[in-house]
Amino acid sequence: MATDATQPRQTGEIETALLACATGDKSALRRIYEAESPRMLGVAQRLLKRRALAEEAVQDAFVLVWRHAARFDPERGAGLTWIYAILRNRSLSILRDEKRTETSDTPIAEETASEEDDPETVMSKLSDATALRACLEMLPPQRRGLVLLAFVQGLTHGEIAGRLKLPLGTVKSWIRRSLLSLKECLG
C-alpha cells in the first residue's frame, strides 16, 4: 500500500482556525484567507478560466466555510480537504450554470486552458512524494489524461469525448477503469 498523499500540512492550523470560525471568530477566517486564498484562486481559475468567475467562486467558498464551519468534523477528515471540497463544488456549479445560461460568444467550455493546465504538465508538477503520482504513472498516458482533465479543468464526460474525439462510452469506461486501477494502487 502506498504512502499517504497530501500537500504540505500546516499541522492543525487550518483545523484550529475552522473550529474558531464555528465560534464566530472572524480573524480565524482571515487567517485561512491569508494562507490559502492564492492557491484557492489558482484552483478556481483552472476550472472556470475567467478571473471574475474564479474570484466569485472563492468568495462564495469563504462564505460557505464561515456558515458551515460548525459542521466541520476533524475526526472525518483534514480541514484543507474540507475547504477545497467546498471550493470545487462551488466552482463546478458556477461552471455548469454558466454553460447553461451562457450569452457570450466564446462558450466557457471551449475557452482554451492555459498550457500549464494540460494533463502532462500537471503530472510533471505533481510532487514526487505523493502516492497519487506513482499510481497515475502506472496508467497509460491517454487514460491518465482523462482523469486529469476531469479533475483539473472540470470537464464532463461529454466534453472530454468531444475534445479528444473519442466515443462517449469509451471515455466513461476508461475513466471508470482508471479509477478502479488507481484505487487498487492507492489502497
Partner 1 sequence: MSPAADAASPEYNALAGEYVLGLLEGQERDAAERRQDSEPAFAAAVESWRRHLAALDATATPITPSADLWPRIEAAIAGLAQSATAAVRSGQVATGPSRLAEWWNSLFVWRGAAFAGALATILLAVGLVGALDRAKRQPLMVAVLLTDSNAAAAVVHTFADGRVEMLPLQSIDVPAGKALEIWTLWDRAVGPRSVGLIDRARSTPLRLDNLPLGKDQLFEITLEPATGSPTGRPTGPIIAKGTTSQRL
Q: Which is nearer to partner 1, 16 or 78 (CB)?
A: 78
**Binding of partner 1 by 30 (CB under 8 A):** yes
Answer for which of 50, 157, 163, 164 binds partner 1 (CB under 8 A) is 157
Contact status: 109 vs partner 1 (CB under 8 A)? no
Site string for partner 1, 73-92 (x = CB under 8 A): ---xxx-xx--xx--x-x-x
Write down the residue that cell numbers 471508470 correspond to: 176
For residues 174 and 187, give the distance between their C-alpha atoms in angstroms, rounded to a whole number: 20
Q: How far is CA 93 from the centre of its chain?
A: 13
Which stretch, 11-19, 37-45, 105-113, 137-145, contacts partner 1 (CB under 8 A)? 37-45
Return the number of other C-beta atoms located less than 10 Å from residue 48's C-beta: 24
- How many CB atoms are closer than 10 A to CB 151? 14
142 scored as a contact of partner 1 (CB under 8 A): no
Count the site residues for partner 1 by CB under 8 A: 72
Site string for partner 1, 89-108 (x = CB under 8 A): -x-xx--xx--xx-x-----
Q: Does 10 bind partner 1 (CB under 8 A)?
A: no
- Residue 138 contacts partner 1 per CB under 8 A: no
- Residues 126, 132 contacting (CB under 8 angstroms): yes
Q: Decide: is 126 part of the binding site for partner 1 (CB under 8 A).
A: yes
Minimum CB distance to partner 1 smaller for 7 or for 142: 7
Contact between 28 and partner 1 by CB under 8 A: the answer reads no
Do 15 and 78 meet the contact criterion of CB atoms below 8 Å apart?
A: yes
Consecutive H or E run containing 160? helix 157-164
Contact predicate 134/2, CB 8 Å: yes
Q: Is residue 127 close enough to count as binding partner 1 by CB under 8 A? A: yes
Note the Cα 22 to chain centre separation in Å.
Answer: 24
